[in-house]
Copies of this chain bind each other. A is one copy, B any other.
Amino acid sequence: MLGQKLVAALVRAGALGERAISHLVLVDVVEPAVPTAVFTVEARRGDLADPGVTSSLAACRPDVVFHLAAVVSGEAEADVDKGYRINLDGTRLLLDALCAEQNGAYVPRVVVASSIAVFGAPFPDVIGDDEQLTPLTSYGTQKAIAELLLADYSRRGFVDGIALRLPTICVRPGAPNRAASGFFSSIIREPLNGREAVLPVSDDVRHWFASPRAATGFFLRAATLDTGALGHRRALTMPGVSATVAEQLASLRRFGGADAERLVRRQRDETIARMVAGWPAAFDTRRASTLGFVAERTFDDIVRVYIDDELDGRLPEPTR
């Protein structure tokens, strides 16, 4: 989903910073859709954990690589082998393939999607930029390992890496994925579209959010940033909005009315509740803010982005 948004933004801009884009190669496990663009766009189907895929990709010698491929949290917890294969081995294969193209001169910018799932309770109420990584899921572990690899490969001059610890992206458009965090989006998206949504945790759960539009901005910023400012610490926690489920539901009511809010059905899921209890609630992201990364300021802003970007600025008419 974020990949598609990012591609659309690249096509719209036609450039990254000052440099015009000449060539874009898309790789996904399903055949990627090829957008119409003023530059060449190539689509490939392939598994990141297949060395043939990563090395043919590296052979293109891209100036910038956006690595957003991942087995999401719920699936990585359910299928340990698949999670490690894609999230760890895939990332390492990609870095090694880029590395193999290196001859002292080729050092691509590599922007990797990490996650706030690298943090696990107990931690302070507001997590600063120097907090230790203590993941409590296999997904968070794999992302933390990816951050370490990226930092080491960058320190050695093999790549010029930057890892973005994304907030939970909200409101996700489209069908739910297997991320355990999916309900944070569906309790807004489904009611705004006249459909029921299930809330598996209690209303006082607090979490950290940014819109898909903000996340796209993070990737674009990371692609053109002067990484000299990062030193050897190549991972940045991205800014976001700290909100409780109750605050989310208040936003839903403001935009969709009481009818929309009534479509949220409380049905506790102990597995999800337990995972979410170990997730962070709020961050102090001054490092990223200083470097020009910007997110929304309120949860209402986040809902408005969803309505603007996914519903063409209009809420559907109430169906009942």
B156:A149 contact, CB within 8 angstroms:
no
Asked if A134 lies at the interface with its beta carbon under 8 angstroms from chain B, I say: yes
Known: A141-B152, A145-B145, A145-B148. A133 touches B132 (CB 8 A): yes
Determine the chain B residues whose CB is within 8 A of the CB of A141 once the complex forms: 148-149, 151-152
Contact code string A105-138 (vs B, CB < 8 Å = 1, else 0):
0000000000000001000000000111111101
B148:A135 contact, CB within 8 angstroms:
yes
**Residues of A191-207 whose CB lies within 8 A of B:** none
Determine the chain B residues whose CB is within 8 A of the CB of A82 once the complex forms: none
Among B120, B132, B151, B233, which residue has its beta carbon within 8 angstroms of that of A130?
B132
Asked if A232 lies at the interface with its beta carbon under 8 angstroms from chain B, I say: yes
Determine the chain B residues whose CB is within 8 A of the CB of A156 once the complex forms: 80, 138
Report Cα–Cα, A134/B156, bound state, in Å. 14
Report Cα–Cα, A130/B151, bound state, in Å. 20
A149:B155 contact, CB within 8 angstroms:
no
Asked if A144 lies at the interface with its beta carbon under 8 angstroms from chain B, I say: yes
B152:A135 contact, CB within 8 angstroms:
yes
B136:A155 contact, CB within 8 angstroms:
yes
Among B134, B145, B232, which residue has its beta carbon within 8 angstroms of that of A233?
B134
Determine the chain B residues whose CB is within 8 A of the CB of A148 once the complex forms: 133, 135, 141, 144-145, 148
B149:A232 contact, CB within 8 angstroms:
no
What number of copies of this chain does the assembly contain? Answer: 2
Determine the chain B residues whose CB is within 8 A of the CB of A134 once the complex forms: 151, 232-233
**Residues of A210-265 whose CB lies within 8 A of B:** 232-233
Residue of B nearest to A124 (CB): B130
Residue of B nearest to A233 (CB): B134
Residue of B nearest to A130 (CB): B132
Report Cα–Cα, A266/B136, bound state, in Å. 47
Report Cα–Cα, A219/B152, bound state, in Å. 28
Contact code string A147-161 (vs B, CB < 8 Å = 1, else 0):
011011001100000
Report Cα–Cα, A296/B310, bound state, in Å. 64
Residue of B nearest to A232 (CB): B136
Residue of B nearest to A84 (CB): B92
14 additional A-B pairs beyond A133-B148, A136-B155, A141-B152, beta carbons within 8 Å, are A120-B232, A130-B132, A132-B132, A132-B133, A134-B233, A135-B151, A136-B232, A138-B152, A138-B156, A141-B148, A141-B149, A141-B151, A145-B145, A145-B149
Q: What 6 A-B pairs come out closest when comparing CB atoms?
A: A141-B152, A132-B132, A145-B145, A141-B148, A144-B148, A138-B152
24 A-B pairs with C-beta separation under 8 A: A80-B156, A120-B232, A130-B132, A131-B132, A132-B132, A132-B133, A133-B133, A133-B148, A134-B151, A134-B232, A134-B233, A135-B148, A135-B151, A135-B152, A136-B155, A136-B232, A138-B152, A138-B156, A141-B148, A141-B149, A141-B151, A141-B152, A145-B148, A148-B148
